[in-house]
A and B are shown apart, each in its own frame.
Chain A
Amino acid sequence: MRQRRENIALVALGIVGLVVMLGGPHVLQLFTIINLTTAIGLAVLALSLGLVWGHGGILCFGQTAFFGTGAYVYAVAAQSFGGTTGAALLAIAAAAAVAAILGYFMFYGRISDVYLGVITLTVTLIFFNLLRRTSGPEYKIGSALLGGFNGTTAPPLTLPWDSNAVLFPQQVFYVAMGALIIAYFGCVWLSRSHFGRVCVAIRENEIRAELLGYDARLYKLGLFTVGGGLAGLAGILIANGIGRVTPDLFNLSYAAQAIIWVIVGGRGTLIGPVLGAFTIFWLTSWLGTQSHFNINIVLGIVMILFVLLLPRGVVPALIDLVDRWTRRKMNQRERMRARRRTGRRAMQQAE
């Protein structure tokens, strides 16, 4: 019953996604399209954190470390290679590799989740500090200057078979939205696979899962690596949306926002973080136009309120509500039927 409803929701979601993807560039203005590409990049980042934290229970506060790695590797490689397809693949691989190396130390050291959160956060902050200091001409990889605080330019995507055919913002939007849809359904598939279910088992009770013969360290490492690669993809998209990569991609503000998207949207669901990212992105851009409000104040208050009052997030709470409502409906119907049955029996007995 629940599975069927979930499938219906997924199909509907896929259709909505496709409509936005195909219809967006025809309806919206160029400025909105470019902004939306950035938002989609952030949504993929949210999805990756939703997979790692919400689904696997790995408290990663520094998902931006892989996000920024992806963006930087893409920008540097695209400047050096000419074409961008190889750069994009390299960026995803690099982000996944960083996640795998970091994950090896953390999971095989059996570090507890609180430590894990703090260490990942520290890693992204160190990357931030490191890249800020790369302003001199000696920090050059291939033909790309890292550029310190100002960052370096990220060339827009090109066609895979023709490195001179640079995509227009509208076309980049198609790619980004397509990537989001594929990534989302990929994550859904992963979460329903054997691997994904073992990850949930480990999240719920690590010792029990290990006693059943699953190596929790390996599964966590696998999930973390996939999440890192996905964050790298998000980095590529954001580099295309903004057109530059700067050390700010690693900073505390992005790291905090990623966490907020997942908290607001809901841990344990995959669509929650995506919707959370779009909502918060919209909120921050709107607040950016209202100059008398500081964004950090609002984000901080949102975060505290959700932790205190709605720690599970919006989407799980809504699903609960719908569940309860349908169950009540069903119970009602059941009761009516039972009443009718007893009534009939009573009438038969009377006869």
Chain B
Amino acid sequence: MDFILALVLQIIYGIANLALIGLGLAIIFGMMRVINLAHGEFLMLGGYTVVVSTNLSANIWIAMLVLAPVVVGIVGVIVERLLIRFLYGRTVDTLLATWGLSLLLVGLVTAIFGPQTATTISAPIGAIEIGAYASSGYELFLILLTLAVFGAVYAVLRYTKLGLLARGTMQRADIAATLGVSTSRIYMITFGLGSAVAGLAGGVLAPITGVVPTIGATYIAKAFITVISGGTAILAGTAAAASLLGAMNGIVTFLTGPTVGEVALLGAAIILLRLMPSGITGRFFRRSL
């Protein structure tokens, strides 16, 4: 019984992890159909923000939950104004430009902090016990945090004026512009918001994964798979894809080990896309957020 509980908790953590990594990317993709190839590096910047600010003796909670999203959000807005803005409507070029940005960020961070792991941060919550098994309390915190972030994004999109304008722009940018919405500003804000969520994810995952300049590469494969399998609905798509793929990964990993688990994740996603080329929300939950 305890064993099953521990296993289920582990699988749920896997799902939450995928959802958290993918959400920032999904916000940007759902809004502007832009896949940000520098997403992994935004996560990496979030991690470095936490490392640097805790080294400057900031409280780790403030560093993870406030500083990381704010700093990366600002970076996102700057990137949007200097780079992405010129490429709207040129989807392929946007991909390429963000890929260039990703290389540039890796290079800059390597030049500043060196190629090795920066000072490791330990997780601020210790282990908890489930019967005979010990489970990480921090992972439990991450599950709750993921739920909270999803709730917050839902609330912003559903109940605020900004959310209304954003949803309008998402559905028909031209009509929204005709009605007097500054779509350019909406895009800027969304890109900033998506980056902030990425920064938050990178920040809170830093204690688990450690921080190296090339850490982005380990995140992006999972993030891309989740977002593409999910389709264009930001929250429902990410949640559905993360649940499906995370559960798959968790079960296969439990049965055979982590190497095959990741391959199963990819295989499942490719078969899924063969059946539903525009993702889960292209077929189901079409009207969801």
Contact = CB atoms under 8 A, between A and B. Distances in A.
Shortest 8 CB-CB contacts between residues of A and residues of B: A300-B104, A303-B100, A296-B107, A297-B107, A300-B103, A304-B100, A125-B221, A294-B107
A294 B108 CA distance: 8
Contact of B273 (A114, A115, A300, A304): A115
Interface stretch (B2-10, B60-68, B90-98, B130-138): B90-98
Contacts of B91: 113-114
B103 A130 contact: no
Contact of A297 (B83, B104, B228, B258): B104
Interface string A107-149: 0111111110111011101101110011000000000000000
A126 B103 contact: no
A251 interface: yes
A308 interface: yes
Contacts of B214: 252
Given A105-B271, A294-B111, A300-B105, A111 B277 contact: yes
Interface in B221-241: 221, 224-225, 228
A11 interface: no
Contacts of A223: none
Nearest to B95: A117
B97 A133 contact: no
Interface in B22-74: 33, 35, 37
Nearest to B92: A59
Contacts of A298: 107
Interface in A85-109: 102, 105-106, 108-109
A251 B105 contact: no
**From DSSP, what is the main secondary structure of chain A's interface residues?**
helix
Contacts of A304: 83, 97, 100-101, 104
B200 interface: no
B263 A308 contact: no
B220 interface: yes
A237 B224 CA distance: 31
21 contacts: A59-B92, A109-B277, A119-B228, A119-B269, A121-B221, A122-B225, A122-B266, A126-B263, A128-B217, A129-B218, A130-B263, A251-B217, A256-B102, A296-B104, A296-B110, A299-B103, A300-B105, A301-B100, A302-B100, A303-B97, A304-B100
Contacts, number: 129
A140 B265 CA distance: 24
B270 interface: yes
A165 interface: no
A110 B277 contact: yes
A259 B92 contact: no
B259 interface: yes
A307 B100 contact: yes
B262 interface: yes
Given A129-B218, A259-B99, A296-B107, 14 more contacts: A111-B277, A117-B92, A119-B228, A119-B269, A121-B220, A122-B225, A129-B262, A294-B107, A296-B106, A300-B102, A302-B100, A304-B100, A307-B93, A308-B86
Given A108-B274, A115-B228, A307 B107 contact: no
Nearest to A113: B92
A169 interface: no
Contacts of B86: 308
Contacts of A123: 266
A135 to B, nearest CB: 11
Nearest to A109: B274
A307 B37 CA distance: 14
A276 to B, nearest CB: 14
B40 to A, nearest CB: 9
B93 A133 contact: no
A105 to B, nearest CB: 5
From B35, B99, B262, name the one whose CB has the most chain A CB atoms within 10 angstroms.
B99
B97 to A, nearest CB: 5
B220 A303 contact: no
A226 interface: no
